[in-house]
Amino acid sequence: MLRPVRALFALLAVLVPLLGSAAPTVVTIPRAESERDARSQFPFFLLEQVLQRSGRHYLLQKSDVRMQQGRALLQLQKGEGIDVVCYMTSAERESLLLPIRIPVDKGLIGWRLLMIKKSQAARWKQIAASGELRDLTAGQGSDWPDFAILRANGFKVYGTTNYDSLFSMLESERIDYFPRSVNEVWLEADAHQDQLMVEPTLAFRYAAASYYFVRKGNEQLAADITIGMEKMIADGSYEKLFQEYYGEVIRRSGLKDRRIIELNNPLLPNGLPVERRNLQFRE
């Protein structure tokens, strides 16, 4: 009678470790559209930690190919190789996808500094003093919400689907300035420091938030991201990571010493969680 029992224990000794090491669920996030594009670094590392706290076994990876926003959003919507994106929210995006309404970047995406050409710095002193920017042409990604936001506020905007070309257009003076968020602009300016710089006195501001989005119907992943985010907010690890990535660039931006130009965001969805003040950056 002991042999079958021993055989059962032997079988369990083999099966239990195998069951405990079940293959993780792979989650794919789009790879940045350019080698110089560092915008996705914080959302990726944050999502790694979020998924680790979700209570499920996930493996986060980047897509094999680089993707522009429009393509990444479409592939996510269709369920074609992309499981999560992190972009600025809009009413349209929330109608097509399932948002996790916790701001990933505390709304820094809506604080915009102006990248300009260094050789135009003297001209920009006069422009900044007068505040007359509407006769100038800004550059933006044509599939970014910022493109529509700037146009809705009366600014001239040139749009392109190529991220890298915006810097070359600014260098060749085909556009006059390139508004970039506080959490983007300094890495980009440093990468193009031979010809470009951050205008030192102005800033745009509009209400905005970057969210993680998943495909509609993927409620489990949305719930797990929410669980992980809330745990990180509660234990302080989200704030710690946020400061590690953005604390210095916020200080470097000197927002209190800039003239803030307030803009309206007509794309803003009704559900933006402005009531959670700890998740909204204040200068």
Domain check: are 69 and 115 in the same one?
Answer: no
> Is 260 inside any structural domain?
no
- Beta strand 25-31 with 58-66 is parallel
107: left (phi over 0), alpha (psi -120 to 50) or beta: left
Domain check: are 135 and 103 in the same one?
Answer: no
Domain check: are 183 and 95 in the same one?
Answer: no
> Is 166 inside any structural domain?
yes
CATH at 216:
3.40.190.10
User: Per-residue pLDDT tens for 194-214?
Assistant: 999 999 999 999 999 899 999
- Beta strand 202-205 with 111-117 is antiparallel
Domain check: are 116 and 193 in the same one?
Answer: yes
Q: How many C-beta neighbours within 10 Å does residue 35 have?
A: 9
**Residue 262 in this model has a pLDDT that exceeds 70:** yes
Q: How many domains does the chain have?
A: 2
**Residue 168 in this model has a pLDDT that exceeds 80:** yes
**Res. 274 pLDDT band, cuts 50 70 90:** low
Predicted pLDDT of residue 280: 80
Domain check: are 115 and 196 in the same one?
Answer: yes
**Res. 273 pLDDT band, cuts 50 70 90:** low
> Is 169 inside any structural domain?
yes
* C-alpha to C-alpha distance for 43 and 164, rounded to whole angstroms: 20
Partner residues linked to 205 by β-bridges: 111, 262
Domain check: are 224 and 195 in the same one?
Answer: no
Domain check: are 96 and 215 in the same one?
Answer: yes
**Residue 181 in this model has a pLDDT that exceeds 90:** yes
> Is 11 inside any structural domain?
no
Domain check: are 115 and 97 in the same one?
Answer: no
Predicted pLDDT of residue 79: 93
Are the CB atoms for 147 and 139 separated by under 8 Å?
no
Residue with tokens 């440093």: 190
Domain check: are 37 and 82 in the same one?
Answer: yes
User: Per-residue pLDDT tens for 79-114?
Assistant: 999 999 999 999 999 999 999 999 999 999 999 999
Q: Which domain holds residue 162?
A: 109-205
> Is 276 inside any structural domain?
no
Domain check: are 150 and 236 in the same one?
Answer: no
> Is 124 inside any structural domain?
yes
> Is 159 inside any structural domain?
yes
